[in-house]
Amino acid sequence: MHLPWPFSTFRKNPPRSETQHAGAWGEEVAAGFLQRRGYRILGRNVRFGSRSELDIVARSPAPETLVFVEVKTRRTEDFGRPISAVDRGKRRALGRAAGQYLRRLRARPDRIRFDVVEVVGTPDGPMPPVVRHIEHAFSPGPGYRLPW
């Protein structure tokens, strides 16, 4: 069946690479991990334009805090911990995306923080993944201001 314009111009998403598949799996593992610890997931893969993305936005249990979570997934730690990939540029990008998210909220949160969840393993691995939650992993960097 041929769909009329503009629907015929939409394309299916391209096949995911192995890296993208592993990253999506890691985000799923991280979200489940946080939920089991009482976090409420407010959003996943929240995008602002083509370059700004928040992996997970969550609300922590007491004290209630709005948490921006960066998920880093690696097969092994042969080349270092996954958190080492959250460099200055990545922290700045996350800070900008968090600012855009905060500007869209009706009510200001009392507290915010930036966490990292490391997931080490593979979706089809023989062992369950190692999951580490690093709270207060970083601040977005110098010059960052809350948007209010």
- Taking only the tens place, the pLDDT of each residue in 38-55 is 999 999 999 987 778 999
Peptide bond just before 63 cis, omega within 30 deg: yes
* 140 part of a folded domain: no
Rounded Cα distance between 125 and 75, Å, is: 9
Q: What CA–CA distances, in Å, run from 120 to 44, 62, 65, 111?
A: 20, 28, 26, 29
* 142 part of a folded domain: no
Please give the average per-residue pLDDT across 91-110, as a whole number.
Answer: 92
Could you give the count of Cα atoms lying within 13 Å of 126 in the half-sphere of its Cβ?
Answer: 0
Q: Considering its fold, how many domains does the chain have in total?
A: 1
Cβ atoms within 10 A of the Cβ of 24, count? 16
* 11 part of a folded domain: no
Mean per-residue pLDDT of the chain: 86
Could you give the count of Cα atoms lying within 13 Å of 90 in the half-sphere of its Cβ?
Answer: 18
* 36 part of a folded domain: yes
State pTM to two decimals. Answer: 0.85
Q: What is the domain-level CATH number for residue 49?
A: 3.40.1350.10
* 117 part of a folded domain: yes
Supply the pLDDT for residue 141.
Answer: 65
* 4 part of a folded domain: no
* 55 part of a folded domain: yes
Lowest mean pLDDT among 7-11, 65-69, 122-126, 127-131: 7-11
* 112 part of a folded domain: yes
**97 neighbors 141 (Cβ within 8 angstroms):** no
Rounded Cα distance between 69 and 54, Å, is: 7
Provide the CA 2 distance to its chain's centre, in angstroms.
38
Q: Which domain covers residue 53, as residue numbers?
A: 17-134
